[in-house]
Structure 1
Amino acid sequence: MNRLARAAAVVVAVAALPYLAFLALYGLVRPDGSPADKREAEPTVSIVLPTYNEADIIETKIADLLELDYPMEKVELIVVDSSDDETPDLIRGYLADRDHPELTLIGEDERRGLAVALNEAYAAANNEMVVKTDCDSFVAEDTLRVAAANLADPDVAAVTGQNAEVLGGSEVEAGYRGVQAHIQTLESHLDSTLIFHGPFSAFENGAIVPVDRDSLADDTELALKIRRNGKRVVFDPAIQYSEASHSDFKKRRLQKDRRGMGLIRLLVRHRDAVGRYGKYGAVVLPFNWWFMVVSPWLVALAIGLLTGAALVAAGPFGLVVPTGLWLFVRLGGSDRLGAFQPVYAIFDTQVSLFRASLELLQGEGDGTWEIDEELREAFE
């Protein structure tokens, strides 16, 4: 074994250690059931819905919300809209003949970024529980009741759920979400989880604080700030939603890289939280730092070392390493890896996080988001 190969083996071993430690901790804790002390509750609810040129799907989304198993007289819908199409007119028209839910429509003259829009919507929310959801997602009928039961625990001030059905059938995203659900379940049983999901997150109104105007991870940032203020923020797999996603490698970059940028930047800005706030700062944040910041660079380094070692040992035949990686990506992006699909899903996420790190170092990224028309079709 040449030096490059030995170095690659060391890098792979170092990169793997925290994940093996996580698996050991999961086996030790064996998280089961909800992390919160659930109690039946029926608070008033403010549903916050940011919109931008959603004319093709907005009626489908509102219809989905109206199907929720919850008394609509206790619900207000707050839409913050920056569209230049007929989205606001469609919203008003769809709800015109209904007394409930009460509609508050906040119109923006120009797009100022999602974080700014959400801060304004949260400030307008009057009810006890505030729910944020995205237009291009469906939520299960019982989500409000399950969220309310979690927030009835006096220690819990925010809760999120899982993408139980990936619209469009992406096995890559389904594999990643499955792994992520196990991670977030353990985090929540230890203390609190880090990542909150845009399709459905619920917060105690009194716990909400403004997020940074340039935030690219607004839901997670709000949850992190709530935890820093002393309340737990948890993941409950019983809260389920559906969101569309790609499997194709190139198409996933638009969807995943921006998320990666937001999460990495958030971790860096709140780096002083590491080591504080109980097990959240001692275990949860360090693990996410490793997964999002350190591990992607180690994966890239390992690939480079393995390729170099193969070329030194076998000359042109050493190209079998990058060729094998290319084949791995092709098969994984086509959902053809069978039982190894979750492994590819983690690799795919590491690619996005590495790319996101590079983009952040180059000073890229703002608070706006682009519409993916192909994913919209999966929602329709």
Structure 2
Amino acid sequence: MEYFYLQLLFWLSLFLLFYSYIGYGMVLYGLVILKRKIFPHKPLSSHTLPEVTLIVPAYNERSCIEQKIQNSLALNYPAGKLTFLFVTEGSTDGTTEYLAQYPQVTVLGGSERKGKIEAINLAMQQINTPIVVFTDANTLLNQDALLHLVKHYSDPKVGAVAGEKRILNADKEEAAGAGEGIYWQYESLLKKLDSELYSVVGAAGELFSMRTHLYQPVEKDTLLDDFIISLRIAAQGYQVVYEPDAYAMEKPSFSIQEEMKRKVRICTGGFQSIVRLKHLLNPFRYGLLSFQYISHRVFRWTVAPLCIPVIFITNALLMPLSRWYEALFILQCVFYLLALTGYLLERRKFHVKALFVPFYFSFMNYTVYLGFIHYLGSKQTGIWEKARRS
């Protein structure tokens, strides 16, 4: 009888882990195919280009601000309909002074650093255009990004449009950077399917647009402002659309340590977001949005990391039962041994691409535990130390 419950726990945990990373994508794809047959896609109607404000939070970004401003000014959009707003709140490295030479750019400075979300809350009070686009200072946008974003606003049901995040990998990339790139390629596919089914569940702050009047001021200690903002728009009944032809290019983290710093902050913010968006866990009220949010986000931050040790331990206890369990346990050991090998080689600056996936999978779930500990043990603040990029 004890083996029965162990097997039940093992297979249930394995199913939930599989569903969190792969199964949901399969179900999502099937639902999208079904929707295409029942509700054929309707082309977007043409409309007049709306006025847009591009907001760039830029705290101490002197190292990349020159490239960012040139990229922004080169965007393909009617000059009279595009406003640039850089928020340099408390910068001490010359970012504010550098931007002063561009009269077409409005700069919100200030002598004190209060954090990105307070900077955004402040900036939103200055906006008088119907559409606002957020982008980070260390990312570069493709030339037609804004045109691709705003075309979706011809549909009144669309409240926000998220662009795609692309990681620029070098030829000899660290495991952290290469793993991040693989992860975002898969995430981009899921977001495309999420959007086609109903709505994206969380936009990436590297490139994200919205209808200005839908903005709700965000708590100043919020860690994942882009995630909270976009899901609160979806909770109002609007769709958050994904547009892969509008993309932000960003270099990967400088090292494993820098990527860990970034992932722990994201995971800490994930638990904070689950608490603040707990109303979205009610599928009777939010329907498809709840299904997508729970499957794509909540499971990744809560259920999947818990399943990993449960699968390993129960599998070890079940080995006397059959050779199948022995084989599965050996496969698990090999997988984690590859992940550990990838980590040790990476510390010696030796990169093996075959180890990127097991390493980054284990690394991501490890940072979830660290993020949870950090969430429970420290007071959250919207001010954080930025992770260095390559």
The verdict on a shared fold, with TM-score over 0.5 as the criterion, is yes
**Whole-angstrom CA distance in 1 between matches of 2:120 and 2:223:** 12
Q: Distance in 2 between matches of 1:277 and 1:208?
A: 20
Structure 1 residue 262 corresponds to structure 2 residue 269: yes
Q: Is the 8 A contact 1:261 1:356 kept in 2?
A: yes
The residue aligned with 2:139 is 137
Measure, in 2, the Cα distance between the counterparts of 1:251 and 1:239.
27
Query: Structure 2 matches for 1:317-328, cutoff 5 A?
Result: 325-328=336-339
Distance 1:88 1:25, change over 3 A: closer
Alignment of 1:95-244 (within 5 A): 95-96=102-103, 101=104, 103-168=105-170, 169=173, 170-244=177-251
Distance 1:301 1:38, change over 3 A: farther
**Overall identity of the aligned pairs, in %:** 22
Letter in 2 for 1:62: I
Distance 2:316 2:48 in 1: 57
Contact 1:35 1:188 in 2 (8 A): no
Counterparts of 2:294 and 2:335 in 1: how far apart (Å)? Answer: 34
Shift of 1:343: 5.8
Task: Identify which range, 244-253 or 130-139, moves more after superposition.
Answer: 244-253
Query: Amino acid of the residue matched to residue 131 of structure 2?
Result: M
Contact kept in structure 1, 2:268 and 2:372, CA below 8 Å: yes
Name 2:67's counterpart in structure 1: 60
Equivalent residues of 1:35, 1:234 under 8 A apart:
no
Of 27, 32, 40, 1:29 maps to: 32
Q: Considering only aligned residues, what root-mean-square deviation do their CA atoms show, in Å? A: 3.2
Q: Is the 8 A contact 1:50 1:135 kept in 2?
A: yes
Q: Which one is further off, 257-266 or 12-21?
A: 12-21
CA displacement at 1:110 relative to structure 2: 1.4
1:221 shift after superposition: 0.9
Deviation for aligned residue 1:201: 0.5
Cα shift at 1:14: 3.5
- Structure 1 residues 145 and 206: alpha-carbon distance in aligned structure 2, compared to 1, 3 A threshold: same
Which residue is equivalent to 1:366? 381
Structure 2: runs of 5 or more not aligned = 320-328
Distance 1:13 1:273 in 2: 23
Matched letter for residue 336 of structure 1: V
- Unaligned runs of 5+ residues in structure 1 are 311-317
SS of 1:57's equivalent in the other structure is helix
Structure 2 residue 100 is the aligned partner of structure 1 residue 84? no
What residue number does 1:348 align with? Answer: 363
- Give how far 1:305 is off: 5.0
TM-aligned CA distance change 1:20 to 1:134, over 3 Å: same
Tell me the distance in 1 between the aligned counterparts of 2:136 and 2:43.
25
Range with bigger deviation, 113-122 or 326-335: 326-335
Distance (Å, rounded) in 2 between the aligned partners of 1:247 and 1:184: 26
Q: Give the length in aligned residue pairs.
A: 362
Asked whether the 8 Å contact 1:172–1:341 carries over to 2, the reply is yes
Alpha carbons of 1:77 and 1:126: their partners in 2 closer, same or farther (altered >3 Å)? Answer: same
Instruction: Give the superposition deviation at 1:234.
Output: 1.8
In the TM superposition, residue 371 of structure 1 has moved relative to its aligned partner by: 3.1
1:119 to 1:215, Cα distance in 2 relative to 1, 3 A: same
Q: 1:35 to 1:117 in 2, by over 3 A?
A: farther
State the 1:40 CA deviation: 4.8
1:143-190: CA deviations, max 9, x gaps? 100001022221101111212342555321111011111221222122
- The reply on whether 1:331 has 2:342 as its aligned counterpart is yes
- Distance change in 2, residues 1:366/1:302 (3 Å): farther
Per-residue CA deviations over 1:31-75 (Å, capped at 9, x if unaligned) read: 889998464542111111111111121111100101111122221
Match in the other structure for 2:325: none
Please state how far the C-alpha of 1:209 moved relative to its aligned partner. 1.5
Amino acid at match of 1:199: E
Give the drift of 1:211.
1.1
Query: 1:235, 1:347 → 2: CA distance?
Result: 28
Give the 5 Å matches for 1:278-317.
Answer: 278-303=287-312
Distance 1:257 1:68, change over 3 A: same
Per-residue CA shift, 1:232-268, capped at 9, x if unaligned?
1122212111112238543321121111221221122
**Is the deviation greater in 24-33 or in 138-147?**
24-33
C-alpha change, 1:350 and 1:249, in structure 2 (3 Å) is same
